[in-house]
Amino acid sequence: MPTDSAPPSRPSELSDDDRLVVAHCAALCFPSSATPAASSSFQVHHASHPYPCAAFSFPPSWSAAEWVEGGRPPFGETEVDPALFPSLRAVGSGVVARANAAFLAAFRGLLDGSPLQSESKEAVLHLSAAAQWEKQRQRNQTKIIDDNCKKIQEALKSLNEYKRTCELHGVSYYDSFKFQQEVHAFNANVQRLELAGLWDEIVEMLRRRELPDGFEGLEEWVNLGTLYRRLVEPLDIANYYRHSKNEDTGSYLSKGRPRRYKYTQKWHEQLQRIPFGSSLESCFWAIVEELQAEMTNGRSLEDLRDRVTKLESDAHGWLTSGSLGKDVLLSSSSFVVWWKTLPEQHRSTSCILKLMP
């Protein structure tokens, strides 16, 4: 090994013994080496070409905590007698320092004059920026939880009270809002619009990647989003068809459904590990509205039988699981009134016959 006063700084100055150190250490780092004895912090491997020399190998690990076993001191603190190894004076008395110096000189040779030199600096800047961005996303999540969660819960509580009032009066939640049959419908509309603003903000932040990737999997937010979707989307559907937007824009499901409901539905399906599109219970009324409109325009049950049967099957499952409110089965419900206009032969074999009032 050389006895220069400083480690080589240029690739052309990399000495033969340094090249040998690099070659041996690289070869020893990839395979799992034998476990060193408890009294040893490293292993010595001898070579005879191009001249007699030795290479040191250490436990292969990227975790500093794994370098020490049985209370042995870290290899970096291992003392080597300079009198026995005079060449180590160039980089101190640590065996690791000598190997690292050789590696550093080799890496300098690879980077020198290469675009990787500048690209590596740019990469460091990008990594730093990414770390700062992730911290900002975490702060955004905390702010969303602190600022919006309580507002959403209070608005949903108010809408739940409105729904109960409607049921006490024998009117479905959906029909009451659509036909403005309750004095509380105005306040419910205010709550609907406020909640739309809060959830639209969250969805846009997700689209701009301003919230952590794991936000959509937070169980408390998935559950809150599901409660919001089931309680408020029927009001959006009622508003859509009350203003006959389907005639100008198209059906609610194909043209009018906001992203906030699509996102919260997707979260729920991913958390529950159920098929995509299987939790459309919040769109029950949109499906009913479209079937009613098509029949009004002259299409027969035979034309729509598959869709009607699927609606009945889905509704049965949603009602049984509690994901669809029982108020849709009130005798005055526009769904019940429409269903009873279907041919007797169809109704008598329907899976929801026994649920009907």
Structure tokens at 85: 């190894």
- pLDDT classification of 66: cutoffs 50, 70, 90: very low
User: Cα dist. 239→134, 263, 289 in Å?
Assistant: 39, 20, 12
pLDDT digits (tens, 9 = 90+) for 150-205: 999 999 999 999 999 999 999 999 999 999 866 789 999 999 999 999 999 999 99
Q: Across residues 200-226, what is the average pLDDT?
A: 92
Q: What is the pTM of this model?
A: 0.66
User: Cα dist. 193→188, 189, 236, 239 in Å?
Assistant: 9, 6, 9, 11
Quick count: other Cβ atoms within 10 Å of Cβ 333?
A: 21
Structure tokens at 349: 């074999």
Query: What is the predicted pLDDT for the residue at 147?
Result: 87
User: Cα dist. 10→4, 21, 213, 270 in Å?
Assistant: 14, 17, 44, 55
Lowest mean pLDDT among 97-101, 106-110, 116-120: 116-120
Max mean pLDDT among 54-58, 127-131, 315-319 falls in 315-319
- pLDDT classification of 128: cutoffs 50, 70, 90: confident
Closest to 257 (Cα-Cα) out of 149, 266, 144, 82: 266
Quick count: other Cβ atoms within 10 Å of Cβ 189?
A: 15
Q: Are 136 and 212 in contact (CB under 8 A)?
A: no
Sign of the Cα torsion 27, 28, 30, 31 reads positive
List the domain boundaries for the chain.
11-114, 126-355
Give the phi and the psi of residue 141 in degrees, each rounded to 5. -65, -45
How far is residue 185's CA from residue 294's CA, in Å, rounded to a whole number?
Answer: 28
